[in-house]
Structure 1
Amino acid sequence: MSEPTPPRWLKPMNKVMMAVQRLGIPTGPAMVLTVPGRRTGQPRSTPMTPFDHDGGLYTVAGYPGSDWAANARAAGSGTLTRGRRSRRVHIVELSPEESRPILRTFAAKVPVGVGFAKRSGLVVDGTPDEFEALAGRLTVFRFDPA
């Protein structure tokens, strides 16, 4: 089975989200993660929806093999921005086993991410069990204070 790919409208929508954030306007729970690119070292930014799980801050890559996740993995640290507020973070990738409870929580706390996963065919109903089964396919990161 081939992995799903992001819809064509996602990159333009991400650019709009980042522009709104640069204006200092928070967009709900969304934040922008900026890390150096793994090839060029130039800053690369992507919007995401981090969420709390047992006191930690986590995010899930919505598509297997996403470039932003590869950049975050290579960088190991970056900046999370919401509106005009930024903070440096260490980026820790979780093992598939560690990611299981986080993926279950994602299903409950990030409805926009559940919608993406349903539309892309990663899940059918968006249940916690379906997301837990994606451990090892979707990258899960924890953001620790730098």
Structure 2
Amino acid sequence: MDAGGRVDGRRRGWVRRAVDGLVTAMVRRGTGPRGTVLLTVAGRTSGEPRTTPVTLVERDGVRWLVAPYGPVGWVRNVRAVGVVEARRGRRTERLVAEEVDAATGAPVLRQYLQEVAVVRRVFDVAPGDPVEAFVPLVPTHPVFRLRPA
């Protein structure tokens, strides 16, 4: 999604904007979809905090951040700054986000697709496809390893 609210060149519809607003309000209260947090990162040019709801996945005791809509604004900000805040309810964590290579990110991307059904429409693979099918997708759907700052 870019600054104009477009995903893959298409503008988000009113339904998607309403759902995002509802999810954001729920996560602020500490409820909402499992694994969903409010990700806050400093803008790469303005330095102003930017917040968006994202769903994290956990794999082998590590938390991962996936960009299902590609290198949108928050992804470019994370790449530039490398430090994010993840908030759910009253709990806020400061985390270092490290972008990983395609081989490392592919199994995470596959797991993400298995767990987060709402994004499946933007992928050309199915959740049950072999992990090798996800390797070429990681450059266009970046994956970040998260660790405490």
TM-score (norm. length: structure 1): 0.81
Amino acid at match of 2:31: P
Shift of 1:105: 2.0
**How many Å separate the matches in 2 of 1:6 and 1:92?**
28
| Match of residue 51, structure 1, among 46, 57, 80 | 57
SS in 2 for 1:87: strand
- Quote the residue 2:89 is aligned against: 83
Identical counterparts, % of pairs: 30
CA contact (8 A) 1:107 1:131 kept: no
CA shift in 2, pair 1:31/1:86, >3 Å? same
1:64-103 alignment runs, 5 A limit = 64-103=70-109
1:8-27 alignment runs, 5 A limit = 8-9=12-13, 10-22=16-28, 24-27=29-32
SS in 2 for 1:64: coil
- Quote the residue 2:145 is aligned against: 142
Amino acid at match of 2:56: P
Q: Aligned Cα RMSD in Å?
A: 2.2
CA shift in 2, pair 1:71/1:15, >3 Å? farther
Matched, 1:123 2:128: no
Instruction: Name the one with the larger strand percent.
Output: 2
Structure 2's unaligned 5+ residue stretches are 1-6
Shift of 1:125: 3.2
CA shift in 2, pair 1:84/1:35, >3 Å? same
How many residues in Structure 1 have an aligned counterpart in Structure 2?
Answer: 138
- Quote the residue 1:4 is aligned against: 8
